[in-house]
Amino acid sequence: MTAQTQSRVWIPTNLVAIALCAFIGLAIVGIAGHAQTSALHDAAHDTRHAAGFPCH
């Protein structure tokens, strides 16, 4: 019983942590690499070209 309760709590906690970190990573790549605001575009211009992202 105890083991069951622990595993029921433990696995979703891991998955939530993984999903949250992956989402933060995706948001960083999306904003720094792909957002089309002109200030961001100009600042990240050379990086975006070198990373092979569609730039302009």
Partner 1 sequence: MFSRILVSGLFAGFAAGLIAALLQLAFVQPVLLHAELYESGQLTHFGAAKAGAATAAGGIDLVRDGLSVLFTTLIYTGYALILVGAMALAEDRGFRIAVRQGLLWGTAGFVAVQFAPAVGLPPELPGSAAADMGLRQVWWFGTVGATAAGIALIAFGKGWTARGIAAALILAPHVIGAPHPETFAGPVPPELAGMFAGRALGVGLVAWALLGLLAAWFWIREGKRSEDTPRTA
Chain residues in the site for partner 1 (CB under 8 A):
11, 13-15, 17-22, 24-29, 32-34, 36, 43-56
* Closer Cβ to partner 1, 4 or 52, answer by number: 52
CA–CA distance, 51 with 10 (Å, rounded to integer): 37
CA–CA distance, 56 with 48 (Å, rounded to integer): 10
CA–CA distance, 33 with 54 (Å, rounded to integer): 9
* Closer Cβ to partner 1, 1 or 39, answer by number: 39
* Nearest approach, Cβ of residue 8 and partner 1 (Å): 14
